[in-house]
A and B are shown apart, each in its own frame.
Chain A
Amino acid sequence: MRKTHALVQVAMALLDNPAERHWGYELSKRSGVRSGVLYPMLTRMLDEGWLTDGWEDPTTIREKRPPRRYYQLTDKGCLALGAVLQEARNDARFADLRWRFA
């Protein structure tokens, strides 16, 4: 997958809580990536096997709304995105994101 600002930002958001479930809108907010960029990226990550997806259990929903789709990092995804971040740390193109690497 091509290393872009959006990918690095999403990688950081996902690796903040690698074991947690991530939701589209919430991930978009935390990563600062527009949903127009985020969703195609999530599809590519699913294709690569970096993420798995699933649906919220309808019995646990209290509000009147349909179940949401969640994304979860796989071990392969943790390694791949970890490597992306590692490379981004030493890449001048991502200098503006360095403050978030800490």
Chain B
Amino acid sequence: MRADLLETVASWPSLLLVVVVFGFAPGFCLRLIVLIYPRSDPRRTELIAELYAVPRIERPLWVAEQLEVALFEGLPRRLSAALRWFARWRRARVQAAVLGAVLMVVLPLADRIAGRTDQVAGRTLAISDLVLQNPSGDSGMHVMRVAGQGEDQQETVLLEVGLDNFLDLDYHFFEPLRFKPGEKIMLAVNCQNPPPPGDRDEAENCRPSASFSGYLEDPALTTSLRVAGSIPLTTEP
């Protein structure tokens, strides 16, 4: 019986098993285990290098312990790296969508009033009250600009408000904002809402609006014409 036992221990299959368990398997398994860590994690190379310091007899158990470390330390890092990547990808996607269809709201005040050209021609528009509304709590920026009437039509930012800061915001200017004839007033909304579920258009997901009141001044006359209106959202590519 002792001879059988010795024969079994010293047999080729047993020898092969020893070679696999103590020689090949620890390194192979460890190289698979460290893949759980993110690519840039120094633990990947550290554990492989450390394996050489572990006596062969202890290696199988030591490698098994590393699986535990990798599952509890490496997996959360890998998941967090994946989440960060997904958040970056999603942000980039949203930005691309926003850039592709920036909700550029052009306030064609002059054009709106152009229907009454006889009253508008040569008059200065004075805006005394401005109400900005963001009923859906959208994210992004609200920018009011004025473009000059010169050849360069240089734009000047008059007002810049973060959509996240208000639902209703009203301005009542002690000294009205004055716009000369030919000047173009633009109200831009740069919506940065997360993409809506489904295939809805970005524009549908952004509903800020603005309304104003003021008057048209005529330097030649002492009278002024009261004007008021809402500013519609239109998209500008």
Against A, the Cβ 8 Å flags (1 = close, 0 = not) of B41-60 are 01101111110111000000
B53 with A68: CB separation less than 8 A: yes
**Given that A26-B53, A40-B69, A40-B73 are contacting pairs, would A35 and B46 also be in contact in the complex, using a CB cutoff of 8 Å?**
no
Residues on A facing B (Cβ under 8 Å): 23-26, 34-36, 39-40, 43, 53, 56, 63, 65-69
A25 with B50: CB separation less than 8 A: yes
Residues on B facing A (Cβ under 8 Å): 42-43, 45-50, 52-54, 62, 65-66, 68-69, 72-73
Which residue among A39, A65, A67 has the maximum number of chain B CB atoms within 10 Å of its CB? Answer: A39
- In whole angstroms, what is the CA distance A63 to B51 when docked? 13
| Across-interface contacts of A36 in B (CB, < 8 A) | 65-66, 68-69, 72
| Across-interface contacts of B72 in A (CB, < 8 A) | 36, 40
Q: Least Cβ distance of A51 to chain B in Å?
A: 13
B48 with A66: CB separation less than 8 A: yes
| Across-interface contacts of A67 in B (CB, < 8 A) | 49
Q: Least Cβ distance of B73 to chain A in Å?
A: 5
- In whole angstroms, what is the CA distance A25 to B47 when docked? 9
A66 with B45: CB separation less than 8 A: yes
Tell me whether chain A's interface is mostly helix, strand or loop, or mixed: mixed
**Given that A25-B50, A35-B66, A36-B65 are contacting pairs, would A69 and B42 also be in contact in the complex, using a CB cutoff of 8 Å?**
yes
| Across-interface contacts of A63 in B (CB, < 8 A) | 52
Q: Least Cβ distance of B112 to chain A in Å?
A: 60
A66 with B49: CB separation less than 8 A: yes
| Across-interface contacts of A25 in B (CB, < 8 A) | 50, 53-54, 62
| Across-interface contacts of A43 in B (CB, < 8 A) | 73
- In whole angstroms, what is the CA distance A71 to B114 when docked? 76
B49 with A65: CB separation less than 8 A: yes
B69 with A39: CB separation less than 8 A: yes
Closest A residue to B71 by beta carbon equals A36
- In whole angstroms, what is the CA distance A39 to B71 when docked? 12
